[in-house]
Structure 1
């Protein structure tokens, strides 16, 4: 048996408290907790036609949330929690919304929906809404928006597949929800920059993510890859093999190689070499050591090989760096 929560019991109250869709500038939180579950809604209005909402919910029994829409809006929706179902109440048509999927679309005044949430499964969605004029300016001349894959089309709603949520989007979404830890004045600058980056990234992901097969990383994979990176940094002189690194980072070797490249835009050993050389350059510029000592400290046994790749990396030899160190000659990594 589902617990049914009507629109006037919940969403209407939220919209009233936030004066939505004409919500005040800045960030606002709405929390609710009763015997059926708990949820939190964080809402942010930029003031220039873009609004962001973060909804996280835990229900103690299967729950249906009713929503009656009273305004027109264009949206991006990211489901980063568990699978949920959305029903067009006017047509009794139910649509499955899988995890780690982004949709874009339009919802008009008069749309009525029921959202189905399963008990003891955390639901997390991020929504970005756009004023009509701004959305048209962004999409009018973009051919990608003329060939979208429709997920559902009703009388008052049009939902399209945008892309599987990729690594950069996940990182941006995570950075956005952590903005509450910042000072208020910094929040606006930080959050708005991340929102704009997310919008740009998402609209530009439409074509690429629908035309080619992507390698997707979940939150656990990303944590393991950051752990692998840290292991390399801590073992710069004697780095583990790929097999050893995958074991220590608790990720299989295939995901380690492919995921590392996708997340950090370099290979495992490409990162290691760059980090070693930057450390060596720092030692030569500011330390009282010779070239042989510097190369050995970062894990190179052959001075000639070290000098060769150092020159390829920085366009200057270790000997030149050492000679110019007294005049603080520096080359950016």
Structure 2
């Protein structure tokens, strides 16, 4: 079986039109060695099948904007149903699967394939980093495994649009597209939470997880540290220490992450203003919200409203 990635020293930005008819297309773009995306826009009267059969270790991200599809793994005999407005992260060390695009008046799907040797460039000394966990996963014998699924947020749509349209640049389209693809990967991986419970004792895990659950249900108006410690039957010091140890973040940072994650979902709603989104996730002033959003993602929330 051939490699999915072109694996050559020449890293030219390569575009291949697999199908192109009026406003319909299936386009493969090799951004650089180890980074490939498919841009799919079709009006389907019948199902269409894309086959992937290689010996590559990779992660890939599927974002279904419109329509539905399923992935049939021929090795494990598992079938994954992928729904509209959702994004899915997969891991695979050997491929023999089919992506079936269901018949629909409007099918729009974006798939980014990331080779293990591309991921390896960015491994961290911190074993808690999601990218390390994903890399280790695809070094094992896994035909196809769903790692994460979630609703597609506004920032993901914004970055996908930038990745796809980098081909319209006359200069440096490979660098621009790879830069946006890395931003997209960073954002999708930031949504993952891997906790190795073997590294902590039962009390640390119990307190950290209870606090996390309480915050998830009250991130708009979270309890104070003292109130949260009381709810977790512990003191302030243990609460903050155990939470950071287990979750690799502070309580304040986690509250902010939940607010921004949910804001990203709400920003897809065209009827909501930025001020309404800010208020809905717990920020009283839209200017403060926009500043935090820009500091975190490098783009203002108002810029996502146009996608």
Q: What band does the TM-score fall into relative to the shorter chain? A: 0.5 to 0.7
Structure 2 counterpart of 1:45: 31
TM-score, structure 2 as length reference: 0.55
Does structure 2 conserve the Cα–Cα contact (< 8 Å) formed by 1:32 and 1:40?
A: yes
Question: 1:205-229 CA distances to partner (integer Å, 9 max, x unpaired)?
Answer: 2139x985753547863xx4xxxxx
Quote the offset at 1:80 in angstroms.
Answer: 3.5
Equivalent positions of 1:1-333 (< 5 A) are 20-22=5-7, 25-33=11-19, 38-47=24-33, 50-82=34-66, 83-132=68-117, 134-135=119-120, 138=123, 141-143=126-128, 145=130, 156-161=143-148, 163-184=150-171, 186-207=172-193, 212=216, 214-215=261-262, 217=265, 221=269, 224=270, 251-252=271-272, 257-258=276-277, 267-268=285-286
CA distance in 2 between counterparts of 1:166 and 1:139 reads: 26
Relative to structure 1, is the Cα distance of residues 143 and 136 closer, same or farther in structure 2, using a 3 angstrom cutoff?
Answer: farther
Relative to structure 1, is the Cα distance of residues 190 and 261 closer, same or farther in structure 2, using a 3 angstrom cutoff?
Answer: farther
CA distance in 1 between counterparts of 2:121 and 2:58 reads: 9
TM-score, structure 1 as length reference: 0.51
Relative to structure 1, is the Cα distance of residues 256 and 99 closer, same or farther in structure 2, using a 3 angstrom cutoff?
Answer: farther
SS in 2 for 1:111: strand
SS in 1 for 2:84: coil
Q: Which runs of 5+ in 2 are unaligned?
A: 195-211, 217-257, 291-307
SS in 1 for 2:123: helix
| RMSD of Structure 2 on Structure 1 (CA) | 4.2
Does structure 2 conserve the Cα–Cα contact (< 8 Å) formed by 1:56 and 1:123?
A: yes
CA distance in 1 between counterparts of 2:103 and 2:125 reads: 38
Question: 1:112-162 CA distances to partner (integer Å, 9 max, x unpaired)?
Answer: 3342322322231231312347348627844364999x9xxx962122115
CA distance in 1 between counterparts of 2:191 and 2:151 reads: 9
Quote the offset at 1:109 in angstroms.
Answer: 3.1
CA distance in 2 between counterparts of 1:81 and 1:43 reads: 19
Question: 1:259-295 CA distances to partner (integer Å, 9 max, x unpaired)?
Answer: 6888xx99446689xxxxxxxxxxxxxxxxxxxxxxx
Relative to structure 1, is the Cα distance of residues 202 and 55 closer, same or farther in structure 2, using a 3 angstrom cutoff?
Answer: same
Does structure 2 conserve the Cα–Cα contact (< 8 Å) formed by 1:163 and 1:206?
A: no
Does structure 1 conserve the Cα–Cα contact (< 8 Å) formed by 2:64 and 2:109?
A: yes
Does structure 1 conserve the Cα–Cα contact (< 8 Å) formed by 2:39 and 2:111?
A: yes
Does structure 1 conserve the Cα–Cα contact (< 8 Å) formed by 2:154 and 2:267?
A: no
User: Who wins on radius of gyration, i.e. which is larger?
Assistant: 1
Relative to structure 1, is the Cα distance of residues 122 and 107 closer, same or farther in structure 2, using a 3 angstrom cutoff?
Answer: same
CA distance in 2 between counterparts of 1:78 and 1:266 reads: 35
SS in 2 for 1:177: helix
